[in-house]
Amino acid sequence: MAKIYVITSGKGGTGKSTTAVNLGSAFNKFGEETVIVDANLTTPNLGIYFGAPIVPLTLNHVLQGKADVEDAIYEHESGLKLIPSSISLKDMKKLKYDKIHDVSKKLKKSFDSIIFDSAAGLGDEAKIAIEAGDEIIVVTNPNILSVTDALKAIKFSEELGKFVKGAIITRVKNEKIEMSLESIKEMLEVPILGIVPEDYAVSESLVRKNSVVHTRPWSKSARAYMNIAARILEKELPKESLYARLMARVGLR
């Protein structure tokens, strides 16, 4: 059964969009027909992430009634499909936000998994994306400010009657000043789906206009996202070759 996962956060800068991109790529590697939707209409990043900041048709055009959602789907060279939003200010006008529910229904007919990269925070834009989702995944960093905002996002989602699948902790450096995993779990009261370490490979993947799951599959961050995807989809990780295990062990990417 097709499912919509909404990736959200209580604040910006947590790695929400990076997580949406890499979970989508990881889902694809598991054989899931997946599309990522840039539901962050005011500050979209998806097209920029994949090296296509300007495209003929976007989610904005769909929500304006100027295009069908099928026409706004693009395929990356990796095989991942995406629906970007427009970076143009003029395309933010006359958006019919209620159409997002129609978009969701249509996408469920064509894909196994739909990932919404929502706006950060607790505003109307984030609310619309969350309401359209089946399961909510909150992204946070291991510091008290970020975790506090993540807790707000969780409670906000639950008040909308949505099931919160859990939280993903990103940009973890394993420093003493970071909150412990136990403290974060106790504060959020939702499952921790995984921990993604701070990794140069993630920044490099942005330069290469692709997900780290594809650019550096043996990196710690890529392996973390694959593990998280396996947990979400309830699937087993594919067995790695001896070469892959050796590459990961010696830290080569």
Range picked from 54-68, 150-164, 235-249 for highest mean pLDDT: 150-164
Q: What is the pLDDT of residues 26-39, one digit of tens each?
A: 999 999 999 999 99
pLDDT at residue 165 greater than cutoff 90: yes
Answer whether 83's CB lies under 8 Å from 72's CB. yes
> What CATH number labels 3-250?
3.40.50.300
Q: In the structure, what pLDDT confidence band is assigned to residue 78 with cuts at 50, 70 and 90?
A: confident
CA distance 237 to 64: 41
pLDDT at residue 241 greater than cutoff 90: no
Q: What is the mean pLDDT of the chain?
A: 92
pLDDT at residue 251 greater than cutoff 70: no
Q: What is the pLDDT of residues 110-131, one digit of tens each?
A: 999 999 999 999 999 999 999 9
Q: In the structure, what pLDDT confidence band is assigned to residue 246 with cuts at 50, 70 and 90?
A: low
**DSSP secondary structure code for residue 240 in this structure:** P
Other Cβ atoms less than 10 A from the Cβ of 92: the count is 16
Share above pLDDT 90 across residues of the chain, in percent, rounded to a whole number:
80
What average pLDDT does this structure show over 47-57? 90
CA distance 101 to 16: 22
| pLDDT for the residue 163 | 98
Burial class (CB in 10 A: 0-12, 13-18, 19+), 155: middle
Q: What is the pLDDT of residues 3-18, one digit of tens each?
A: 999 999 999 999 999 9
The amino acid present at 38, given as its one-letter code, is: D
What average pLDDT does this structure show over 77-104? 88
pLDDT at residue 70 greater than cutoff 90: yes
- Kind of pairing, strands 81-83 and 34-39? parallel
What average pLDDT does this structure show over 179-199? 97
Concatenated DSSP letters of 22-56: HHHHHHHHTT--EEEEEE--SS--HHHHTT-S--S
